Amino acid sequence: MIVLGMGNDMIDIRRIDRSLQRFGTRFIHRVFTEIEIAKSERRANRAASYAKRFAAKEACAKALGTGFAAGVFMRDLGVVNLPGGKPSLMLTNGAMDRLRAITPNGMTAQINLTITDDHPWAQAIVLITAVPAEFSHHLSHQT
């Protein structure tokens, strides 16, 4: 296994709450995927749910080595839950292109995500690794 990138982000939940109040659905649909919206809107503390997902996007963009540039946009990164409930990230468009570009030939990339919140903070850590393709079928999530 090799490490392709690592990123960390921390955000004040109150900042996301202010954006939700001020910009409403315009903010939500500009930043979050439909899966993230459905999950967050069901939560009692929707601001904390959105904040964790926002932090995950930031952390992943850092792990990809681009930030939100070079064709990587917020909606290209979406927090999803694996069958057991573990959070992970689904990449599309420019983010997926970047992941493919940094993954060595013959290897399969894996994205590991941890998210947490303790009011007023939400935090996410992303670790992107690669394993030889022949071992990827043993893993629970691959990109």
Binding-site positions read: 9, 58
Entry field: residues in the chain: 143
Q: What string of H, E and C letters represents the secondary structure of the chain?
A: CEEEEEEEEEEEHHHHHHHHHHHHHHHHHHHCCHHHHHHHHCCCCHHHHHHHHHHHHHHHHHHHCCCCCCCCCHHHEEEEECCCCCEEEEECHHHHHHHHHHCCCCEEEEEEEEEEEECCEEEEEEEEEEEEHHHHHHCCCCC
User: Binding site for Mg(2+): which residues?
Assistant: 9, 58
